[in-house]
Chains A and B, each alone.
Chain A
Amino acid sequence: MDHSVSRNWRDPELLLKALPSVLLQTTCFIAPLLMTFLLTFQRTRDFQLRWTWDLATWTDVFTKPHYWTILGHTLVMAAACVAISMVIAFPIAYGLSTRFKRWENEIKILITFAFITDATLKTFGWVLFLDKKGAANFLLAGLGLPPESVAFLFTDWATLLGMVYNLLPFAIFTLYLSIDNIDRNLILAAYDAGAGKWRAHWEVTLPLCKPGIWAGSVLIFLLGVGVFLEPKVLGGGTSPMSAELIRQTFETRVNWPLGAALTLVLMTVSVFLVLLFTRLLNMKRAGASA
């Protein structure tokens, strides 16, 4: 149902409500992004920004493979995080909208709380849990397993675990919303047409929540390429990801133009990949229906 009313920008009611957010996001989101872009054409000398307007930073970015290796690693990690999160989130979201009705509210509260709790704290919790002398090994030793069975802290696996942990709720919520919006009658119709449970699932439920799967994947991918805490704290900084590199560029090297350029490269490449995949999927769908 659409119950929107047509409004003109001269209407004070529209202006009053829309202007604060428009101003906020233009002055504190769009303008800083433009500024970031402009900064890439400057240089830093003696930890001071110099307005030089040249392409030195970009030359540096495009000639050092180091940055691109890290970027590639970041993209792979983010993609892996998307895949794992979606596989785990689907049964949860499906259950929430169809079978967990009795505990629906309680489950939602539990997930929301875990989601809303600060990532720093939870990441710290994981360190304490996964450490060689941490809780996991202590508990396993109590069960008679050899000491240090859990020894993947400070590897990419720990980073991935942290990323999935922190981003999984986004997957659950987006999938839940899209599955919940499916008309139950369609699924019943599939049963009626003689489809078994699994078949109905494959041919009705899954295709219908494609938009949700896609939206969740995009969100997690974009947030995943920007993680910093997980590789630093859980990965132990051994195999840095782009955000960590950017952080260092700003903090340790105080090279703002380079940091700005790397930020833009990261965002542009990620958004480009998202658009590319959207395009490919659409083409496939168009091809399949033709």
Chain B
Amino acid sequence: MTARFEDMLINSLLYGVLAAVLIFFYVPIFTLIAFSLQEGRYLTLPFEGISLKWYGELFKSATALTALRNSSLIAAFATIFSTAIGTAAAIVAVRYRFRGKLAFHALTGAPLAFPQLLLGIVLLLWFSVLGRWFGFNTGVVTAIIGHVVYITPFVMVIVAVQVYNFDPQLEDAARDCGATTWDVYRHITIPLLWPGIFSAAIFAFLLSWGNFYITYSLAGSTRTLPTFIFSGIAVGSSPLYPAIATLVFIPGILLVITAAGLRRKYSGGA
């Protein structure tokens, strides 16, 4: 009787905290979505009316479209490079024993605990000095490099979980069946690591797509969606910015749901 009561108490407490935290997480997101629907010119309440007018404005704004294009470009390249490098590093970190393994872990994982802004600044100094010597300016390429440095450790951690759950004996079994190193990768390793690689790629894309700090430091005069929005953060600005923000959410929602679905499909047993 008392145990049941205690159980109920704990349950309601936990669900209460969960609900509060979820609301907390979504307050700014829903606020932005709401404000993007304001018909009037200013970000004030009450709304003058509800409309999708600012979304229309968005597609007429050349700067917003350029920012969208830059975001996509940087995110696409950063995803490809960080996924490839991070996946390889994950296999090394989990599967191999070698001299200097600890140093390898520290080196490849360090950017995870390094504040993004400082990473951006340190890289900015580096590229500025190198740029002075070799004659280049910061821009899309340096932003991509910065993103790859920051995102690769995340990819490594996500893929490492998949590698850890992967039975390496399967590779031995494939070799025993007559598979060459390449066959093993093509038929066994990559298909089986795929859910992890795919989730990591999605994660990488979203981290890059929404990245502010590193882009801000390293993209030079190039604007991406987050840096463009940063320039418009102020209550006095127009609902154009919340409208962009809402659009930025969309690929995130789609990709997170896809990744979760995929993981569940693969984790059914085995």
0/1 per residue, B233-270, Cβ < 8 Å to A?
Answer: 11100000110010011001100110010001000000
A243 and B113 contact, Cβ closer than 8 Å, known pairs A24-B85, A116-B203, A120-B226: no
Is B193's CB within 8 Å of the partner chain A?
no
Q: Is the CB of A32 within 8 A of B28?
A: no
- Residues of A within 8 Å of B210, CB to CB, are 116-121
Q: Is the CB of A109 within 8 A of B260?
A: yes
Is B143's CB within 8 Å of the partner chain A?
no
Q: Is the CB of A107 within 8 A of B18?
A: yes
A129 and B15 contact, Cβ closer than 8 Å, known pairs A5-B95, A21-B88: no
Q: Whole-angstrom distance between the alpha carbons of A121 and B29 in the complex? A: 8
B85-115 contacts to A (CB < 8 Å): 85-86, 88-89, 91-92, 94-100, 104, 107-108, 110-115
Q: Whole-angstrom distance between the alpha carbons of A120 and B117 in the complex? A: 13
- How many A-B pairs with Cβ below 8 Å? 269
Is A105's CB within 8 Å of the partner chain B?
yes
Q: Whole-angstrom distance between the alpha carbons of A259 and B21 in the complex? A: 37
Q: Is the CB of A250 within 8 A of B88?
A: no
CB-contact partner of A228 in B31, B92, B117, B123, under 8 A: B117
Q: Is the CB of A222 within 8 A of B114?
A: yes
Of A22, A31, A92, A116, most B-chain CB atoms within 10 Å: A116
- Residues of B within 8 Å of A88, CB to CB, are 17, 21
Give the size of the chain B interface in residues (CB under 8 angstroms): 97
Q: Whole-angstrom distance between the alpha carbons of A10 and B206 in the complex? A: 36
Q: Whole-angstrom distance between the alpha carbons of A111 and B26 in the complex? A: 9
Give the segment of A64-72, A131-139, A203-211, A282-290 that binds chain B.
A131-139
A80: shortest Cβ distance to chain B, in Å? 17
0/1 per residue, A1-17, Cβ < 8 Å to B?
Answer: 00111111100011011
Is A273's CB within 8 Å of the partner chain B?
no
Q: Is the CB of B27 within 8 A of A125?
A: yes
CB-contact partner of A91 in B13, B92, B125, under 8 A: B13
Q: Is the CB of A24 within 8 A of B149?
A: yes
Across the interface, name the chain B residue whose C-beta is closest to A110.
Answer: B22
A44: shortest Cβ distance to chain B, in Å? 12
CB-contact partner of B18 in A7, A13, A95, A246, under 8 A: A95
